[in-house]
Structures are given as structure tokens and as C-alpha cells.
Amino acid sequence: MSFRLSVTRPLLAVAVLGLFVSVATAQQSPTPTKVRGEIERVDGDSLAVKSRSGQDVKLQLQPDLRVAGIASSTLAEVKPGAFVGATTVPGPNGAHNAVEIHIFPESMRGTGEGSRAWDLGPNSTMTNATVDQSVTSTDGNTVKVKYKGGEKVISITPKTQIVTYVPAEKSDLKPGAKIIAFGKTLPDGSFQTSRIAVGQGGITPPM
């Protein structure tokens, strides 16, 4: 996989690291502030976004903006020892069905470790943990993850999206791109952000 390197690799690594830290911070908050949607227009340091709920949102980009890409990955990468984040929803018989699994880079192992409520959907939960075991059976795929103070068996369904983080640039924030932005709402109703994850190759960030 190749990336556009208009800046040096170290700077790209720093940018992605900053985004990871922001995501982890948001995951630790019980009521994280996020905007999920599609960019409709770019006007300098302002983005017009149509949120997933159909609202028109104005995103104000901060000078310290960090952008990370979300790229497709595979179940084969969700292997023992990998540090992952998983958004799950309740399934039959107490199962934890994965809506998505995102794979963290090794440099971010331990970030936001634990399990907490999430706002992707009703009763959704975000769990950041290390994969302990991966099992394939006639009933489907499951992964057992462990984190400080607990563990969870996560069911992977045909609808589960598996992604990973990759470097990205501000130039990737263009009309049609799907994003998730972390920040705060301003008094005028606009949204201020310095951390954005943007889908690559038409992907919608699933977390």
C-alpha cells in the first residue's frame, strides 16, 4: 500500500499519532463529542458536512489539525497479540456482535484500554484490548480480547467492518470523503475540530 508523501515520514507519523491520542481520549469519555458524515464543500479552513443524521454541520479546522486515514483491513490481521478497538452491540444470548474492529499500530498499544459505552448505536460499546484468541467454527468467527480488569468474547459477523489506521493529509479532506471528527460545539452551532479520521478508497469510518 502506498501513500502520498508530500511531507516526511516522521511528520506523517506524528500526525497519525496525534489523531490516535485524540480518538483514545474520546473513547475514554462517557459522552464524546463527534461528527460523523460526508464532506460536501471545502472553504479554506472550514468544511461543510452532511452528518449521518442529515444535519448540515460547519466544521472549523484548527491550526493544529491532525488527519489520519481509515483503510480496509482483513480478519487475518485480527490475530493473537494485536491491539484492537471494537465497537459491539448486544446480540442473541448475550453475544457481543462487532459492528467494526479497528487495528491500532504497535506504537499505540494500550491506548484507551478498557471497555465503555459508545454512541455508534443503541447500547453500543467500545472495547480497546489485546486479541488473546481467534476462533473459527461452524457458528462463525469469534475473538477473545483481554484488557486490564476484564475480557470479552466478540462475535464477528458478515457485516463486521475491519479497518486500520494509515497516514493521511489535509488534502484528503475533500467533497465526497466520509469522516469522523472529534472536537466541541461552539456557541454559534458550528463544530471546532483538530482531529479527523477520513475514509480512504470510499470507506466510511465505521467507529
Q: State the residue range of the domain holding 156.
A: 71-164
Q: Would residue 57 count as lying in a domain?
A: yes
pTM flag (> 0.85): no
pLDDT at 177: 98
Q: Would residue 3 count as lying in a domain?
A: no
Task: Judge residue 201's burial from the number of C-beta atoms within 10 Å of its C-beta, 0-12 exposed, 13-18 middle, 19 or more buried.
Answer: exposed
Coil, helix or strand at residue 52:
coil
Retrieve residue 82's grid coordinates. 494485536
Verify that 178 and 142 share a domain, yes or no: no
133-182 residue pLDDT tens: 988 766 679 999 999 999 999 999 999 999 999 999 999 999 999 999 99
Residue with cell 480512504: 200
- Please report, for the domain that includes residue 180, its CATH number: 2.40.50.320
Verify that 150 and 94 share a domain, yes or no: yes
Separation of alpha carbons 197 and 186, rounded Å: 20
52-96 residue pLDDT tens: 989 999 999 999 999 999 999 999 999 999 999 999 999 988 899
Verify that 83 and 60 share a domain, yes or no: no
Q: Would residue 149 count as lying in a domain?
A: yes
Q: Does the pLDDT of residue 18 top 80, yes or no?
A: no
pLDDT at 19: 52
Separation of alpha carbons 23 and 136, rounded Å: 30
Verify that 79 and 140 share a domain, yes or no: yes
Separation of alpha carbons 35 and 52, rounded Å: 8
Verify that 180 and 148 share a domain, yes or no: no
Question: Would you list the DSSP string of 132-164?
Answer: EEEEEETTEEEEEEEETTEEEEEEEEEEEEEEE
Separation of alpha carbons 23 and 32, rounded Å: 10
Per residue in 162-200, is it b (16+ CB within 10 Å) or e — as a string? bbbbbbbbbebbeeebbbbbbbeeeeeeebebbbbbbbb
Q: Would residue 63 count as lying in a domain?
A: yes
pLDDT at 205: 95
pLDDT at 134: 85
pLDDT at 61: 96
Structure-model confidence comparison of residues 18 and 40, the more confident one: 40
89-141 residue pLDDT tens: 999 888 999 999 999 988 889 989 999 999 898 999 999 999 999 887 666 79
Verify that 134 and 100 share a domain, yes or no: yes
**Overall number of domains in the chain:** 2
Verify that 75 and 160 share a domain, yes or no: yes
Q: Nearest CA to 180 among 75, 81, 61, 35?
A: 35
Q: Would residue 1 count as lying in a domain?
A: no
pLDDT at 26: 45
Q: Would residue 206 count as lying in a domain?
A: no
